[in-house]
Chains A and B, each alone.
Chain A
Amino acid sequence: MASSEPTALERLVNGILPENPIYRQLLGMCPVLAVTAGMRPAMTMAAATAAVLISANIMISLIRGLLKPHLRILVFTLTIATFVTIADRFLAAFMYQMSKQLGPYVPLIIVNCLIISRCEICASKQGLRIAIADAVGMSLGFTLALASIATVRELLGAGTWFGLPVLAESWWPRWGIMVLPPGAFLALGLLLATAQWFTQRRTANSHK
């Protein structure tokens, strides 16, 4: 029974591409669309989500023996809310401008389906080492997805990357729509389609 469960290292690698939270599981879309107008807010959000996910997994894994079945979702949510409060106050104290720019999306990490589903599927049933590996893998996958979308949106929309000018005005006309809300939907839709296309090609090739 134990040998069929994925090991810690397998879980870590799993979360990056094969079960990427955004491109495969389609969880936690709300912050993805909102903060990816630039690389800097996207990476700040990725770091905050990673911190909350790893802390919540550790805590839930430590108290997994005490969870009552019908109250467990509430316990997950309250634990996550506590860690998000800590992360939000930390950001407001040390990175005030970024905190103002991210606005209400840092507290919205509480209802990020990714964290609750990881607590439910993995942390409430597995030991500490496996829970941490799973959380780190998912965080890396989330960061990768956020980076890809933010890069596309910022390069096409503002010609900068992390605020540094990359594409000069004369080479590439700015697609202003990309840094506005519709651009978020369009960029994510096209990138999702690209990811699906790669998967379908790989499946088709492996069948040949």
Chain B
Amino acid sequence: MSSMELVVGLIQIVISAALINNFVLHYFVGICPFLGVSRRVDMAFGMGCAVTFVISLAAFLSWTFTYYILRPGAPLPAWVWHAVGGDASVSIDLSVLSYILYIFVIASSVQFVEMYVRKYFPALYKSFGVFLPLITTNCAILFACLEIMKHLQDPTELWSLPQALALALGGGIGFTIAISLMAGLREELDLCDVPKPFKGPGITLIIAGIMAMAFMGFTGMDKGVHAALSSLFQ
């Protein structure tokens, strides 16, 4: 594939993960911070940026581990197997360890990011409070790792590292968009007359439903994006 086609493919992955198959509004991951997000758009945007960074870091690490160690026919176990004199026709598949490894990688990434932020951005660390460790249980990060694993199962169509990072970045951007929109809407909600049973999570979920309907309008856009980008780079 030419490099232009590669770039078009990457941009397509980013737009698909950010808008068409938005992590929050289409795949329902990352709902807990989405529902509990503060009413301040700048705090929500900061949270989105933190999640984007952690997703990218976790995706990089999990792609590396999955590609070289865990997937069926991975090079490192094959090398070890050969070194101990095993039969060369056997293909080793360690993907049963995937979930444990991914959650370990995510917990370590969050810990690392927390230490880094506490040392170099103490004001930011203070404003995040308890939310930074809670990113570990953010479904969006594990979901990104699982999607990357899904694309590393078929030996004929393996995703490269730039593609995995594009998916992670797109997912993080989509999460940031959704959470910032929700924070802005909740700011306006304070001035509205919400019926008592709906206050809190009830009205937030209904707003999310209408947002999801709006984002459904992006369906089928990826073919048009591909055509537009291809003609642009031609």
Contact = CB atoms under 8 A, between A and B. Distances in A.
Interface stretch (A4-12, A55-63, A102-110): A102-110
Contacts of A186: 205-206, 209
Interface of A is mostly: helix
Contacts of B209: 182-186, 189
Contacts of A98: none
A47 B147 CA distance: 24
Nearest to B100: A81
Contacts of A89: 96
Contacts of A193: 195, 197-198, 202-203
A196 B204 CA distance: 14
Interface in A48-74: 73-74
A88 B98 CA distance: 12
Given A34-B28, A81-B99, 18 more contacts: A29-B31, A30-B32, A33-B28, A73-B107, A77-B103, A81-B100, A108-B29, A108-B143, A111-B103, A182-B210, A182-B216, A189-B202, A189-B204, A189-B205, A189-B208, A190-B202, A192-B205, A193-B202
Interface centre among B32, B97, B150, B199 (most CB of A within 10 A): B32
A113 B99 contact: no
Contacts of B196: 196-197, 200
Contacts of A189: 198, 201-206, 208-209
B179 to A, nearest CB: 15
A180 B195 CA distance: 26
Contacts of A104: 143, 146-147, 150
B216 A181 contact: yes
Interface in A169-208: 177, 180-186, 188-190, 192-194, 196-197, 200
Contacts of A177: 213
Interface of A: 26-27, 29-30, 33-34, 73-74, 77-78, 81-82, 84-85, 88-89, 104, 107-108, 110-111, 113, 116, 177, 180-186, 188-190, 192-194, 196-197, 200
A81 B32 contact: no
Contacts of A188: 205
Interface string B64-100: 0000000000000000000000000000000011111
A33 B29 CA distance: 9
B131 interface: no
B26 A181 contact: yes
B229 to A, nearest CB: 26
Contacts of B137: 111, 113, 116
B100 A181 contact: no
Given A181-B28, A189-B202, A194-B197, A110 B107 contact: no
A196 B194 CA distance: 13
Contact of B142 (A26, A108, A181, A185): A108
Given A30-B32, A108-B139, A84 B99 contact: yes
Interface in B5-19: none
B27 interface: yes
